[in-house]
Amino acid sequence: MQDRRHFLKFSASAALGGIAASIPSAQASQCQLPKWDDESDYIVVGSGFAGLSAALNTRRKTGDNVLVLEKMQVIGGNSAINGGWLAIPKNPVQLAQGVKDDSPAELVKDQMISGRGMADEAALTQIAEHALEAYQLCIDSGVKFKKDFNIQVGGHNKARAIRTLHGTGGDITTKLYEVGLKEGIEYRLQNCIEDLIMDGDKVIGLKVRQNYRFPDMKTGKNIYIKANKGVILASGGFARNMLLRAAVDPSLDPTLDCTNALGATGEVMLSAMAHGALPVHLNMIQTGHWGSPDEGGFGWSNALLSIGWHQGMSVSVLSGKRYMDERADRKTCSEAIMKNRYSDGSPAYPLVFFNYKDHATDERVTRSLRDEMAWKVNSLDELAAKFNVPLAPLEASVMRFNQQVKARKDQDFGRKMDTAVELKPPFVVSRIWPKVHYCMGGLKTDLGGRVIDARSMSPITNLYALGEITGGVHGEARLSSTSCLECLTMGIVVSDTVKADHA
């Protein structure tokens, strides 16, 4: 139950990392169970890809009541501002393009390489094998994807990444939410989870701050909601929790911007840890190498660079030369980019540029130019002058790049050159610098999504988790377009688990 032992453990673990001030306290209560203000069969915490998928699939497979609690004022969480990428082996566009040799196993192979020995092959295999089912869930829910769009993104060995029509995760979250409403799922906004309610080692409900206004914990009031069959945690990562970030990874540059929504602060994960949930890989925090210093948050650079990484090149403003394989995975690229610094240690933002005429009317270009996070330059001379780049080595670098495009072989960094084009002015040029993007670490679960108790290494009864709140799946680096896939597929898997657990 919610007793003194749990309270002391929570307070000590929070103070150890210097994070006590950033999370709501797990307050001690009387030994008896609380008086319940409300109840549901299942309570899903979070309304992003993971929460919406888990809620919808659980409702369909069990027929039980499902309540979704979201602490912010809008549905969608961090997923709503996601770039809308989804890796689907054997998707219809891929097959129409003639890519016949892809498979779930091929995707897992790429992810295992990216994970650098720390990824969970069984978990990744389960996710990959449910990929087409997740895609069909989107299609059946009314999600629209870009017509004839399927490309190879960083770290993948095949073109298997599709994207939503508007290039945003909101295309998925809105549709899943609308379908859930029609099928009887209840959604409540501004409900912040303060603690799990335990009966021994079994989760039986939640202490919730109702009518909460982020980030003021003095707003709203506390209520207790009973979960008759289970609590499903899908509340995302903690990339916006600066104190927790510093505690688990002191090497992470605190000046880096973050792509996540402001509510990505990890309180629910910490509450579960206070009740014995096992954390793994918390220090593995990924940066997105496509970030722009000229816009805040997730921004538009992710969309623009889907052109730049494939067709263009990136150069250092210090040397005027290429410095990396532009199509490598996020960790490799981010580390290469952040080596570009002036003598005082401040960022020397590298440049990415590609041909303007090939994309003059593309929304990714027109919007970026409009918002001045990218610029049109008419020559290499103009580019060098505008960004203070040494002209002679820049010209030599472009000449060498164009030669490698013709030869379809990058002798400098081993980049795959199948989509690269010969560079000719005018150019679209943007500055890049990584942003904190994704937490690989979180709560350890079994393959069914049951949260593991650190004391017994067995599942905590009636507690499930999926999505970015979980850890140990991707290892050191997650590949682009696999987070949405994980969240949607694990919603399917968890729904099967809860049905089996309460048959």
Concatenated DSSP letters for 207-254? EEEET-BTTBTTSSEEEEEEEEEEEEE-----TT-HHHHHHH-TTS-T
Per-residue pLDDT tens over the stretch 305-341: 999 999 999 999 999 999 999 999 999 999 999 999 9
Q: What pLDDT was estimated at residue 16?
A: 39
Name the CA radius of gyration of the chain, rounded. Answer: 23
Per-residue pLDDT tens over the stretch 117-131: 999 999 999 999 999
Q: What is the mean pLDDT of the chain?
A: 93
Residues 197, 290: Cα–Cα separation, whole Å? 41
Please give the model's pTM, rounded to 2 decimal places.
0.90
Residues 434, 330: Cα–Cα separation, whole Å? 9
Q: Look at residue 13 and tell me whether its pLDDT is greater than 80.
A: no
Let me know: does 69 contact 44? Beta carbons within 8 Å: yes
Q: Look at residue 20 and tell me whether its pLDDT is greater than 70.
A: no
Q: Look at residue 2 and tell me whether its pLDDT is greater than 50.
A: no
Percentage above 90 pLDDT, the chain: 92
Residues 459, 63: Cα–Cα separation, whole Å? 24
Per-residue pLDDT tens over the stretch 443-461: 999 999 999 999 999 999 9
Residues 44, 210: Cα–Cα separation, whole Å? 15
Residues 453, 279: Cα–Cα separation, whole Å? 9
pLDDT band at 29 (very low <50, low <70, confident <90, very high): very low
pLDDT (mean) for 413-428: 97
Residues 441, 425: Cα–Cα separation, whole Å? 44
Q: What pLDDT was estimated at residue 32?
A: 82
Q: What pLDDT was estimated at residue 6?
A: 41
Q: Look at residue 422 and tell me whether its pLDDT is greater than 90.
A: yes
Residues 20, 28: Cα–Cα separation, whole Å? 16
Per-residue pLDDT tens over the stretch 192-245: 999 999 999 999 999 999 999 999 999 999 999 999 999 999 999 999 999 999
CA neighbours closer than 13 Å in the CB half-sphere of residue 125: 5
Query: Which strands sit side by side in the sheet containing 427-431, from one edge to the other?
Result: 313-315, 351-355, 427-431, 375-377
Is 327 tagged catalytic?
A: no
Q: What pLDDT was estimated at residue 31?
A: 56
| 14 Cβ neighbours under 8 A, 6+ residues apart | 20, 23, 270
Strands 191-199 and 375-377: unpaired
Let me know: does 355 contact 348? Beta carbons within 8 Å: no
Q: What pLDDT was estimated at residue 501?
A: 98
Let me know: does 338 contact 314? Beta carbons within 8 Å: no
Per-residue pLDDT tens over the stretch 80-108: 999 999 999 999 999 999 999 999 999 99
| 157 Cβ neighbours under 8 A, 6+ residues apart | 106, 109, 110
Beta strands in 421-497 (DSSP E): 427-431, 435-439, 442-443, 450-452, 459-465
Q: Which of 209, 330, 431, 478 is catalytic?
A: 330
**Secondary structure (3-state) at 50:** helix
Query: Bridge partners of 151?
Result: 161
pLDDT band at 4 (very low <50, low <70, confident <90, very high): very low
Q: Look at residue 22 and tell me whether its pLDDT is greater than 90.
A: no
